[in-house]
Chains A and B, each alone.
Chain A
Amino acid sequence: MPSDRGHRFTNSRYFEDKGVGLGRRVRLGTMKTMRRGLRMPRRRFAWMGVLAVVAMLVWVAGGTLGHAQAQTAVPMTPWGEPDLQGIWSVELLVPLERPGGTTTEFYTEEQVAELDRVRATGSVFGNHVRAERGSEADVAGAYNAVFTSQRPTGRRTGMIIDPPDGKVPPLTAEARARQTEIFEYEAALLQNTVVCRDNLDGCIGGAYGSRSPLRDEQPPYYSTRNINRAYGPEDRSLNERCMSGNLPNFRGGFTGIHYRVVQSPGTVTIFYDVGQGQGFNRVIPITDDPHLPAHVRQWWGDSRGRWEGDTLVVDVTNFSAKRDFRGSRENLHVVERWRRIDPETLEVVSTLEDSTVWTRPWTVIQDFARQPEEPNRIYYEPRCHEGNYGLPGLLVGSRAEERAFAEGQGPDPATRCIAGCSSPEGRDPLALR
Chain B
Amino acid sequence: MRNRIEGLMLGAVVAAAAVSAVIAVTVTRAVGQVQATRPARTVDDKPNFSGIWQALNEAHWDLEAHEARSGMVMQEGVYPFEFAQVPAAPVLALGAAAGVPGSIGVVQDDGVIPYTPEAAAIKQENNENWIDRDPELKCYLPGIPRAMYMPHPFQIVQSTNKIHMAYAFTSTARTIHLDTVDGPPDYTYMGHSVGRWEDDTLVVDVTDFNGKNWFDRAGNFHSEALRLEERFTPISPDAIHYEVTITDPNVFTRPWRISMPLYRRLEPNMQLLEYRCIEFAEEFLYGHLRKEPLVTRWEGETIIVDITRKIPAGDALYDWYRK
A binds B: yes
Q: For the complex, is B235 an interface residue (Cβ under 8 Å from A)?
A: no
A373 to B172, CA, bound (A): 20
| 1/0 contact string of A287-307 vs chain B (CB within 8 Å) | 101001000101110000000
Binds B, one of A158-166, A174-182, A189-197, A393-401: A393-401
The reply to whether B16 and A285 contact each other, CB–CB distance below 8 Å, is: no
Number of interface residues of B (CB under 8 A): 69
Complex: how many Å from CA A142 to CA B171? 30
Give the number of chain A interface residues (Cβ < 8 Å): 67
Q: In this assembly, does B199 line the interface, its C-beta being within 8 Å of a C-beta of chain A?
A: no
Q: Are A49 and B8 in contact (CB under 8 A)?
A: yes
Segment 211-248 of A: residues with Cβ below 8 Å from B:
231-233, 241-243
Q: Is B289 an interface residue (CB 8 A)?
A: yes
**Residues of the A chain whose Cβ atoms lie less than 8 Å from the Cβ of B138:** 386
Contact between chains at B166 and A376 (CB < 8 Å): no
Evaluate contact between B292 and A376: CB separation under 8 angstroms.
no
| Set B12, B50, B177, B186: member contacting A376, Cβ < 8 A | B177
Residue among A47, A85, A389 making CB contact with B162, cutoff 8 Å: A85
Say yes or no for B129: interface residue by CB 8 A criterion.
no
In the complex, A398→B291 CA distance in Å? Answer: 8
From known contacts A85-B159, A241-B282, infer whether A30 and B171 are also in contact, taking CB-CB under 8 Å.
no
**Contact call A280/B175, Cβ cutoff below 8 A:** no
Contact of A269 among B23, B157, B182 (CB under 8 A): B157
Asked if A264 meets B279 with Cβ closer than 8 Å, knowing A50-B8, A231-B290, the reply is no
A373 near B291: Cβ-Cβ < 8 Å: no
The verdict on A265 contacting chain B, using a C-beta distance below 8 Å, is yes
CA distance A376 to B162 in the complex (A): 12
Which A residues are CB-close (under 8 A) to B173? 269, 271, 281, 380
Of B59-67, B79-87, B90-98, B267-275, the one contacting chain A is B267-275
Interface residue ranges of A63-94 to B (CB < 8 Å): 63, 77-79, 85
Interface contact A285-B271, CB-CB below 8 Å: yes
Contact of A380 among B7, B23, B43, B190 (CB under 8 A): B190
Flag whether A110 is at the interface (Cβ < 8 A).
no
B162 to chain A, nearest CB (A): 5
B120-145 Cβ-contact flags toward A at 8 Å (1 or 0): 00000000000000000011110000
Residue of B nearest to A262 (CB): B164
B286 close to A (CB within 8 Å):
yes
> Interface readout for B192-210 with A: 1 if CB under 8 Å, 0 if not?
0000000000000000000
Report the bound CA distance from A296 to B275 in whole Å. 12
- Residues of chain A within 8 A (CB-CB) of B156 are 264
- CB of B272 within 8 A of CB of A283, answer yes
Which of A12-20, A53-61, A132-140, A420-428 forms part of the interface with chain B? A53-61
Task: Say whether, besides A46-B7, A78-B11, A281-B173, A289 and B290 are in contact (CB < 8 Å).
Answer: no
User: Within 8 Å CB of B282, what residues of A?
Assistant: 233, 241
Q: Does A5 sit at the interface, judged by CB under 8 A?
A: no
B12 pairs with A53, CB closer than 8 A? yes
Determine the chain B residues whose CB is within 8 A of the CB of A355 once the complex forms. Answer: none
Contacts of B183 in A (CB 8 A): 32
Q: Which residues of A contact B285 (CB under 8 A)?
A: 392
Contact for A78 among B43, B167, B190, CB less than 8 A: B43
Q: Is A407 an interface residue (CB 8 A)?
A: no
- Contact mask for chain B residues 216-253; partner A; CB cutoff 8 A; 1 contact, 0 none: 00000000000000000000000000000000000000
Q: How far is the CB of B257 from chain A (nearest CB, A)?
A: 27
| Contacts A281-B172, A298-B274; A36 near B182 (Cβ below 8 A) | yes
What separation, in Å, do the CA atoms of A266 and B43 have in the docked complex?
13
Chain A nearest Cβ from B144, distance in angstroms? 12
**Inter-chain contact A381/B141, CB cutoff 8 Å:** yes
A 292-325 contacts with B by CB, 8 A:
292, 296, 298-300, 322
Are B164 and A298 touching (Cβ within 8 A)? no
* Minimal Cβ-Cβ distance residue in A for B322: A389
Whether the pair B276, A392 counts as a contact (CB closer than 8 A) is no
* A121 CB within 8 Å of chain B: no
- Report if A382 contacts B (CB, 8 A): yes
Within 246-296 of A, Cβ neighbours of B (below 8 Å) are at: 260, 262-269, 271, 280-281, 283, 285, 287, 289, 292, 296
Minimum CB–CB distance for B179 against chain A, Å = 6
Say yes or no: A61 contacts B188, CB within 8 Å.
no
CB of A408 within 8 A of chain B? no
**Inter-subunit contact A380/B157 (CB<8 Å):** no
1/0 per residue B16-30: CB within 8 Å of A?
A: 101100110000000
Within 8 Å CB of B8, what residues of A?
Answer: 46, 49-50
Cross-chain contact A380 with B188 (CB below 8 angstroms):
yes
CA distance A61 to B23 in the complex (A): 7
Interface residue? A105 (CB, 8 A)? no
Q: A50-B12, A269-B155 are in contact. Are A374 and B190 (CB under 8 A)?
A: no
Asked if A50 contacts B50 (CB within 8 A), the reply is no
Contact A299 B190 (CB under 8 A): no
**B259 adjacent to chain A (CB < 8 Å):** no
B311 lies within 8 A of chain A by Cβ: no
User: Would you call A383 an interface residue if the criterion is a C-beta within 8 Å of the partner chain's C-beta atoms?
Assistant: yes
A85 to B177, CA, bound (A): 13
Q: Mark B36-53, 1 if CB is under 8 A from A, else 0.
A: 000100111000001000
Chain B residue with the shortest CB-CB distance to A52: B12
Q: Are B160 and A386 in contact (CB under 8 A)?
A: no
Chain A neighbourhood of B39, CB < 8 A: 265
By a CB distance below 8 angstroms, the chain B residues around A383 are 141, 189
Would A381 and B171 be within 8 Å (CB), given that A231-B292, A262-B159 are in contact? no
With A263-B159, A264-B159, A398-B291 as known contacts, state yes or no: A300 contacts B271, CB within 8 Å. no
Asked if B291 and A283 make an inter-chain contact with CB atoms under 8 angstroms apart, the answer reads no
Given contacts A264-B158, A380-B173, 19 further A-B contacts (CB under 8 A): A30-B186, A32-B183, A79-B43, A232-B286, A243-B276, A262-B164, A265-B43, A269-B166, A271-B173, A281-B166, A289-B34, A374-B181, A381-B141, A381-B190, A386-B141, A386-B212, A389-B318, A391-B286, A395-B286
Would you mind naming 26 contact pairs between A and B with Cβ atoms under 8 Å apart?
A: A33-B185, A46-B11, A54-B19, A54-B43, A61-B19, A78-B160, A79-B43, A241-B279, A262-B159, A262-B162, A264-B156, A264-B157, A264-B159, A265-B43, A267-B50, A267-B157, A268-B157, A283-B155, A292-B273, A299-B274, A300-B274, A373-B179, A374-B181, A380-B173, A381-B141, A386-B189
Residues of A within 8 A of B (CB): 28-30, 32-33, 36, 46-47, 49-50, 53-54, 57-58, 61, 63, 77-79, 85, 231-233, 241-243, 260, 262-269, 271, 280-281, 283, 285, 287, 289, 292, 296, 298-300, 322, 373-376, 380-383, 385-387, 389, 391-392, 395-396, 398-399, 402
Closest 3 CB pairs of A and B: A395-B289, A262-B164, A281-B173
